[in-house]
Amino acid sequence: MSQPACPMCEMTDVLEQADHYECSICGHEWPLNTAADADSPAVDRVVKDAYGNVLADGDVVAMIKDLKLKGSSDVLKTGTKSKPIRLVEGDHEISCKMNGIAIGLKACFVKKVAG
């Protein structure tokens, strides 16, 4: 049987407890019986940043940690702000532009910026 993915950060470093799963990356917990429903499309998917703030299309986010861009020597530094974001389906929940580069990001690496 394949390891379930965390519904919040979509990583597969998941611990199985007696009555629930727990993600070792973000700490999210969910009941054992909903793991079979992970393949079905989610109704009203809620995307949260690293601090638990709900993200929506048009929000501006900032990086909370330095990330190296795959296939490039570029690095997105902590505090780098995005243009308005767009929420998308898939393994990376956010589509945006940072430093003039169109990228896809996981919500666990950003924080929502006020106004």
Chain segment 57-111, per-residue pLDDT in tens:
999 999 999 999 888 888 999 999 999 999 998 888 999 999 888 999 999 999 9
Q: Which domain holds residue 9?
A: 1-40
The number of domains in the chain is 2
For residues 27-55, give the mean pLDDT.
73
Considering the domain architecture, whether residues 54 and 96 belong to the same structural domain is answered as yes
Cross-strand pairs, 109: none
Query: Do 78 and 66 form a contact (C-beta atoms < 8 A)?
Result: yes
What 3-state class would DSSP assign to 33? helix
Instruction: Encode pLDDT of 11-22 as tens digits.
Output: 788 888 888 888
Q: Are residues 32 and 70 in the same domain?
A: no
One domain for residues 66 and 30: no
User: Based on the domain organization, do 18 and 59 belong to the same domain?
Assistant: no
The rounded percent of the chain whose pLDDT value lies above 90 is 42
Same domain, residue pair 63 and 108: yes
109 φ/ψ angles, rounded to the nearest 5 degrees? -105, 10
Question: What is the per-residue pLDDT for 43?
Answer: 54
CATH number at 102 reads 2.30.30.40
| Beta bridge pairs of residue 21 | 16, 30
Contact 46, 54 (CB under 8 A): yes
